[in-house]
Amino acid sequence: MALIHHTTLKPTKVELLAGWLPTRPWYRGSAAPELTKAGGFRLDDPEGAVGIEFMVVTEDSGAYLVPLTYRGAPLAGAEHALVGTMEHGVLGSRWVYDGCHDPVLTAGLLALIEGRVQAQAQSVSDTPDREVVRSYAGQGPVAGLGAPVDTDESTEFAVPDTGLVLRLQRVLTPGSTPPESAVGQVSGAWEQPDGSRAHALFATLQTPQTPQTL
């Protein structure tokens, strides 16, 4: 299990995201957002080298799911996915990446959907996150994913030779549920500005949606 260090971060995660989010095609807020860390969960890296976090941040325009990885050295070939660097009070320099471009995170997300790993609490060591719900009705593990493609509300990965798509919701909609085409899903929770808990779909493994004809 990953050990959570309660220490200083310079800059903080929210400060990094405030400069990065406005550059994303799915972000709907202002150029200078005032973000609040509102929830999320972690996954364990089997090798113990990479921090994996699915963070929910909120601001006036809504709630966003931001998967992040934290590494002790740059990830080769992922310069385009670098969110920024920060100094960790215990671990030293950390390179922070958009986790959709990090194979450790995408492998972990598939393992979570398929029930091979458990979601872990965001800020407490060795504690499963009971608010994260997953299901899978597929046949066997997914062998791999295509390159991530951003849309105006999600990041999507084609699953080669299956006709399936892994869709990670970037813009979160409270109360959303999996479509009928889903064979796997993950949903989770976060705290809204009024203090209430919101639950929504975080990710699906599904057949592509077909546009309706009129």
Delimit the domains of the chain by residue range: 9-206
pLDDT of res. 3:
57
Task: List, for residues 93-125, the tens digit of each pLDDT value.
Answer: 999 999 999 999 999 999 999 999 999 999 887
pLDDT above 60 for 140? yes
Distance of CA 28 to the CA centre of its chain: 18
Structural tokens at position 43:
């996954």
Quick check: 199 and 131 in contact, CB under 8 A? yes
- The percentage of the chain sitting over the pLDDT mark of 70, rounded to a whole number, equals 93
Structural tokens at position 151:
């849309």
Name, in order, each residue with C-beta under 8 angstroms of 203's C-beta and a sequence gap of 6 or more.
109, 113, 166, 167, 168, 169, 185, 186
pLDDT of res. 6:
62
- Could you tell me the pLDDT band of residue 212, with boundaries at 50, 70 and 90? very low
* Pairing mode, strands 164-169 and 62-71: unpaired
Q: Model pTM?
A: 0.92
Quick check: 126 and 106 in contact, CB under 8 A? no
